[in-house]
Chains A and B, each alone.
Chain A
C-alpha cells in the first residue's frame, strides 16, 4: 500500500465523523491561530517601537555637559557647562565613527505672527541637525552654513507652529514672524513627524541658526555650548564606537586624569532602542510561548480522540489486519489520520490567526504584516504535533492482536 492510498483512506475515516473531527481540530486551530496573531501583534509593536526611535533620529547619540555640585547638592547632567565649541569641532574632526554633530541650544519662546502668537520650544543649531534627526523639509528650505556664520534671522517652523500662527494649510514660507520683537523670516517648514511615545508633539518646534539663537534669544556668547551636542554615528553598529571616540576626545580636551570621572554624559539612543526592542521581543516570546502551550494542549486533544478512535475501531483494525494489513500499514494509517487532522487544523488556524492579527493590530493601531516564515513554521509545527501525538495511539493500533481485535465489541 502506498502513502498516496492512505491519504484518501484517512480522509474518508475522518469525514465519517465530521463533528468529532472538527472538535478535535479545534485545539490545534486555536493554538496555531493564537501563535500567529500573538507573533504578528508582537512584531507590529516592535515595528512601532522602531519607528518611534527612527523618528528621534538615526543612530543618535546625545552629549550632555557635566553636573554642578554646590554645597553637596548635585545638579543634573547639563547643569554645569563643560562642553565647549572646540569640543564640538574636535568631535566633528576627529571621531571617525561620527557622521555629523550639531549643537542644540533650546529654550521656550513666544512667536508672533500678524494676528496670532504661540509659545513653543526653539532650538538653535547647525544645518547638520536635520540630518541627525532624519528630518526633512516639507516646504522651503533649511538654513545653511552661511546663515550660521552671518547670524541671519531665519527660522524653520514645525507644522504645529505653522498651524497655530497662520492657520492650517497656509504656506508660511517667506512670511515674517517676531521673537522678542525681532523679525525672523520663515524659510522652511518641517515635515510632519507626529508624536513621541509619551505624547510629546514633535512638530511643535522651531529651529534657527545657533549663532542667531545666541545673539538674539539667549543674548550671550561664550566658550561653552549652552546646550547639548547631538551626534549621529555612521551606522547603527558604530554607535558604541562613536560613543567611545567622543569620550576619549572630550576627556582629552578637558584634561581629565585617568582616575577622574567624566564631566560629561553620552546617551546612546540606539542602546535605548535596542533595550526597548529586547523588551518587546521578550513579550512577543512570552505570548508565543503561551500560544505554543495551547498548541500542545491541542495535540493532547488529538491524542485523546485518536485513542478513543482506536478503541472504537478495534474490530475494523482487526479486520484490516486479517485481510493483510501489516502492523506498519495500520500505524501509518492512524498516523496519517492524526496528521491530516492536525494539518487541516493548522491550515484553518493560520487563516484564522492572520485574520485575528489584522483585526487586533488595526485596533491597536499597529502594522500587521504576517510573517510568512511564521505561518509556515506554525503550520509545520501543527504537522509535528499530529505526528508526535498521533504516534502513541497509532502504535497501539498497530500492536493489536488481530484475533482479540476481531472478537471485541
Chain B
C-alpha cells in the first residue's frame, strides 16, 4: 500500500520490553522490540507459543503496558497512560477480534455491535444506524436480530468483526481470529479482513497457521521475545471482481 511519508506511522514501538518476575528468575516475554507499522498495512504476527506474540498483541492493543520502551499509537505515546485512559484509547483507536468471538450471549447481533458505541457515548439512534451499517458491511445485514446461539461460528466472527470496526478504529487487532473455525470458514473470514484492508484499514493479526498468514502483506515472526523475521509479501488474493471493486473505492471507504 502506498502511504504518505509525512504521516506518522500508525504504530511505532521502540525497545518494547516486558518482563515477568517469577520468584528469583525474570522472564523476558518481550525483549527490546522495535516495530513500525504504517497505515494501511495488513500484518500477520507468527510465532510458537511462548514466543511473545500474545504479549506483543496485548501491548499493541493497549491492554497491557510495557515494562520498558515506548509505544506511539497514531503519533501519540500511550505507554504511560493509566487504565482509564487506555480504555478510551482502545475505544477510540482500536478494534478487537478474538479467537472465541466473545459476543454477549442472549443479546442480538445489533446490540453486540453497538457495545463499543455505548462506551463512546454515541446516542441511541446513531448507534443503531452505525451498527446496522457495520453488520451490512460484513454481510450480515439480514441477521441484525439474531442471537449468537442462532449464528454459525463464521457468522459470529463476522459480528465480532463488525463490532471491531463500528467505531472507525485506526487499527484492528485480531488474536487468532480463525483459531476456532474450520478451513473453509477461515478463508471466508480472512477474505473479509482482506476486503477491509483494501478499503484502507490497518489490520494486525496473530496466527500460527502459515495458510492464514498468506493473506497478509507483511509477516512478523517472533521467537523468545524478539522479532526474528520481518518480510513483506505479495498478499494471497482471494475472491473475485467484487473484491477488486472494493479496492478501487478505497478512498470513499476509508471514511467509513
Task: Please state if A5 and B84 are interface contacts (CB–CB under 8 Å).
Answer: no
Among the interface residues A5, A322, A406, which one has the most CB atoms of the partner chain B within 10 A?
A322
Can you sample 16 A-B contacts with CB below 8 Å? Answer: A12-B107, A315-B102, A316-B104, A318-B102, A319-B102, A321-B87, A322-B90, A322-B96, A323-B91, A323-B95, A323-B163, A324-B88, A324-B91, A326-B87, A327-B83, A403-B58
Whether, in the assembled complex, A402 has its beta carbon less than 8 Å from a beta carbon of chain B, the answer is: yes
Taking CB as reference atom, which chain B residue is nearest A316? B104
The 3 closest A-B pairs by CB, nearest first: A324-B91, A326-B87, A324-B119
Task: Please state if B88 and A326 are interface contacts (CB–CB under 8 Å).
Answer: yes
Whether, in the assembled complex, B200 has its beta carbon less than 8 Å from a beta carbon of chain A, the answer is: no
A406 and B58 CA atoms in complex are apart in Å by 11
Q: Which residues of B contact A318 (CB under 8 A)?
A: 102
A316 and B121 CA atoms in complex are apart in Å by 19
Q: A323-B116, A323-B119 are in contact. Are A406 and B84 (CB under 8 A)?
A: no
Taking CB as reference atom, which chain B residue is nearest A12? B107
Q: State the Cβ distance, B40 to closest chain A Cβ, in Å.
A: 23
Q: State the Cβ distance, A2 to closest chain B Cβ, in Å.
A: 7
Task: Please state if B102 and A5 are interface contacts (CB–CB under 8 Å).
Answer: no
CB-CB contacts of A309-335 with B at 8 A, as 1s and 0s?
Answer: 000000110111111111111000000
Task: Please state if A328 and B84 are interface contacts (CB–CB under 8 Å).
Answer: yes
Task: Please state if A326 and B115 are interface contacts (CB–CB under 8 Å).
Answer: no
Main secondary structure on A side of the interface with B: helix
Whether, in the assembled complex, A74 has its beta carbon less than 8 Å from a beta carbon of chain B, the answer is: no
Task: Please state if A324 and B106 are interface contacts (CB–CB under 8 Å).
Answer: no
Residues of A near any B CB (own CB < 8 A): 1-2, 5, 9, 12, 16, 315-316, 318-329, 402-403, 406
Among A316, A326, A328, A406, point to the contact of B98 (Cβ < 8 A): A406
Task: Please state if A324 and B102 are interface contacts (CB–CB under 8 Å).
Answer: no
Task: Please state if B84 and A326 are interface contacts (CB–CB under 8 Å).
Answer: yes
A377 and B63 CA atoms in complex are apart in Å by 44
CB-CB contacts of B154-170 with A at 8 A, as 1s and 0s?
Answer: 00000000010001000
Q: Which residues of A contact B163 (CB under 8 A)?
A: 323
Whether, in the assembled complex, B64 has its beta carbon less than 8 Å from a beta carbon of chain A, the answer is: yes
Q: A1-B119, A5-B118, A403-B64 are in contact. Are A323 and B96 (CB under 8 A)?
A: yes
Task: Please state if B84 and A324 are interface contacts (CB–CB under 8 Å).
Answer: no
Taking CB as reference atom, which chain B residue is nearest A398? B83
Task: Please state if B98 and A323 are interface contacts (CB–CB under 8 Å).
Answer: no
Whether, in the assembled complex, B120 has its beta carbon less than 8 Å from a beta carbon of chain A, the answer is: yes
Q: Please provide the chain B residues from 148 to 187 with a CB less than 8 Å away from any CB of chain A in the complex.
A: 163, 167
Task: Please state if B115 and A320 are interface contacts (CB–CB under 8 Å).
Answer: yes
Q: State the Cβ distance, B98 to closest chain A Cβ, in Å.
A: 7
Task: Please state if A326 and B64 are interface contacts (CB–CB under 8 Å).
Answer: no
Among A9, A321, A324, A328, point to the contact of B92 (Cβ < 8 A): A324
Task: Please state if B87 and A324 are interface contacts (CB–CB under 8 Å).
Answer: yes
Q: Which residues of B contact A315 (CB under 8 A)?
A: 102
Among the interface residues B87, B98, B120, which one has the most CB atoms of the partner chain A within 10 A?
B87
Q: Please provide the chain B residues from 67 to 104 with a CB less than 8 Å away from any CB of chain A in the complex.
A: 83-84, 87-88, 90-92, 95-96, 98, 102, 104
Q: A322-B61, A323-B163 are in contact. Are A329 and B102 (CB under 8 A)?
A: no
A9 and B117 CA atoms in complex are apart in Å by 13
Q: Which residues of A contact B83 (CB under 8 A)?
A: 326-327
Q: A315-B102, A327-B83, A406-B98 are in contact. Are A1 and B88 (CB under 8 A)?
A: no
Taking CB as reference atom, which chain B residue is nearest A323? B116
A403 and B83 CA atoms in complex are apart in Å by 12
A324 and B166 CA atoms in complex are apart in Å by 13
A16 and B105 CA atoms in complex are apart in Å by 9
A329 and B95 CA atoms in complex are apart in Å by 19
Among A9, A325, A328, A403, point to the contact of B63 (Cβ < 8 A): A403
Task: Please state if A324 and B90 are interface contacts (CB–CB under 8 Å).
Answer: yes
Q: Which residues of B contact A325 (CB under 8 A)?
A: 87, 91, 119
Q: Which residues of B contact A321 (CB under 8 A)?
A: 63, 87, 90
Q: Which residues of B contact A2 (CB under 8 A)?
A: 121
A403 and B18 CA atoms in complex are apart in Å by 15
Taking CB as reference atom, which chain A residue is nearest B127? A5
A171 and B120 CA atoms in complex are apart in Å by 84
Q: Which residues of A contact B84 (CB under 8 A)?
A: 326-328
Q: State the Cβ distance, B26 to closest chain A Cβ, in Å.
A: 19
Task: Please state if B119 and A320 are interface contacts (CB–CB under 8 Å).
Answer: yes
A323 and B173 CA atoms in complex are apart in Å by 11
